[in-house]
Amino acid sequence: MDMIDPFGRTISYLRVSVTDRCDFRCTYCMAEDMAFLPKKDLLSLEELDRLCTVFIEKGVRKLRLTGGEPLVRKNIMHLVRQISRHLESGALEELTLTTNGSQLSRFAADLADCGVKRINVSLDTLDPEKFRQITRWGNLDKVMDGIDAAQAAGLKVKLNAVALKDFNDAELPEMLRWAHGRGMELTVIETMPMGEIDADRTDQYLPLSLLRAALERQFTLTDIPYKTGGPARYVHVAETGGRLGFITPMTHNFCESCNRVRLTCTGTLYMCLGQEDAADLRAPLRASEGNELVADAIDEAIGRKPKGHDFIIDRRTNRPSVSRHMSVTGG
């Protein structure tokens, strides 16, 4: 039942955006005055569980819940508990979560109880004022408390930092030392041209090739074949003993090995983060109590999965490559 796309890639990883809403307004991700989806347009938690189950039956082995901020979705732990039955049966190998950390103090122990072993926390700076600036109204102390709670619950934490020119680039060496000192991995990510924001992305964009060169003036970085199922390429950092990941959609895309599709909270399936083409799964889901129509719609969509994305950031291209914001598809 494995899902194979037109380029022979096996689709085994589903990212599910359970909400487009977020309690932050990160400047590279969304506009300050965002218009979110009406709640009536969202799939119910039961419908999300049903869709996830169909994907698992069709070969998905890793499932990541994203947002927006997934932990602001009402009764989100009900969905996590439902999906966790597939961990218990062995049908699903891993259930993970990407979060901004603001709600982790409330939910970390429950996530661990449901079989979640590791999570990604998005954190771009350790400076409280810069943190408030980049998130517009986030509280760094709450995120730090959340990371403490996650580690206390036994969750493995990986930090994701978007590399932003003249904002956090000089701070990333210290973030690396801090993360590795606490037993956490760090992955740095190039900003992507998704959705209209209030800033010029050409002013934010930092090629990770330049960042790596700067880091190598302080650290000994050795390429390693380590993989987590996502797009990051990893290096071992001799001075800290930890791993550092690079996600480079702009300078060196990872499309040739893409094993991922993305499901939104409205039941829209995006076969590529950097393309507009999508498939509606909500209509076939609601048209029948059985899952045959949904399964057929998924097969048809996988048959249209493109070879890669068309992301561009330069001074000549003022419009985003895709119109939807990152918060719609969850990265």
Output the known binding site.
15, 22, 26, 28-29, 64, 68, 98, 122, 158, 192, 255, 258, 260-262, 272
Residue whose C-alpha is closest to residue 148's, from 113, 183, 196: 183
Burial of 213 (0-12, 13-18, 19+ CB in 10 A): exposed
Residue type present at position 105: S
Annotated binding site for S-adenosyl-L-methionine: 28, 68, 122, 192
Bridge partners of 189, per DSSP, are: 162, 247
Residue whose C-alpha is closest to residue 244's, from 177, 150, 152: 177
Burial of 188 (0-12, 13-18, 19+ CB in 10 A): buried
Annotated binding site for GTP: 15, 64, 98, 158, 260-262
Sign of CA dihedral 294, 299, 301, 307: positive
Residues sharing a CB contact under 8 Å with residue 5, sequence separation 6 or more, in sequence order: 11, 271, 302, 303, 305
C-alpha 154: how far from chain center: 21
Q: How many Å apart are CA 201 and CA 320, to the nearest integer?
A: 9
Q: How many Å apart are CA 97 and CA 195, to the nearest integer?
A: 23
